[in-house]
Amino acid sequence: MAANGAAGGLRIAMGGDDAGVGYRSQIKADLEADPRVAKVIDVGVHEKSDKTAYAHPADEAAKMVAKGDADRALLICGTGLGVAISANKVPGVRAVTAHDSFSVERSIMSNDAQVLCMGERVIGLELARRLAKEWIGYKFDPKSASAAKVDAIMEYEKKNFA
């Protein structure tokens, strides 16, 4: 399947920490009901009482994207920042924190980001649900002017993390 879920719908890994459990369960249900999504893979955490550090599920979800086992990942913690930092440690992954429609759009259209991160303590549930729905509707155009910019990012990754 293409990185943007071209055939059969998107495979989306979801994860986060205890601060993102509430939103994640609702957004997961939304994604599972969306015909554009083939599969949602939940990498945890699943309970507010589970104090697993956000870095662990973020790393697991990002590795799924990097290996091609998922097309994208949606990560939710308290701010969306820690999971983004963690996911960006996986080579080949571009993770962003976005809490508004324009940033969500540009994360795909300008940056070909495969991982969207949000903070449950930053935005309301209905906005988070809407942004997730918008996010799965965007597809990066590898022939766009932004493609060369994404290639430049990846070249820096090769140089700096070789």
**Residue 58 belongs to some domain of the structure:** yes
Work out how many domains the chain is built from and give that number.
Answer: 1
Give the list of residues 6+ apart from residue 3 with CB closer than 8 angstroms, or none.
68, 71, 112, 114, 140
**Residue 111 belongs to some domain of the structure:** yes
Q: Is 77 a catalytic residue?
A: yes
The CATH number of the domain where 77 resides is what? Answer: 3.40.1400.10
Give the containing element (helix H, strand E) for 38: strand 37-42
- Let me know: does 71 contact 65? Beta carbons within 8 Å: yes
**Residue 1 belongs to some domain of the structure:** no
Which structural domain, as residue segments, surrounds residue 71?
10-161
How far is residue 120 from each of residues 17, 23, 40, 162, measured CA to CA in Å? 10, 7, 19, 34
Q: Is the pLDDT of residue 5 over 70?
A: no
* Percent of the chain's residues with pLDDT above 90: 94
Per-residue confidence band for 7, with pLDDT thresholds at 50, 70 and 90:
low
**Residue 88 belongs to some domain of the structure:** yes
Catalytic residue selected from 21, 77, 115, 131: 77
Per residue in 31-51, pLDDT tens?
A: 999 999 999 999 999 999 999
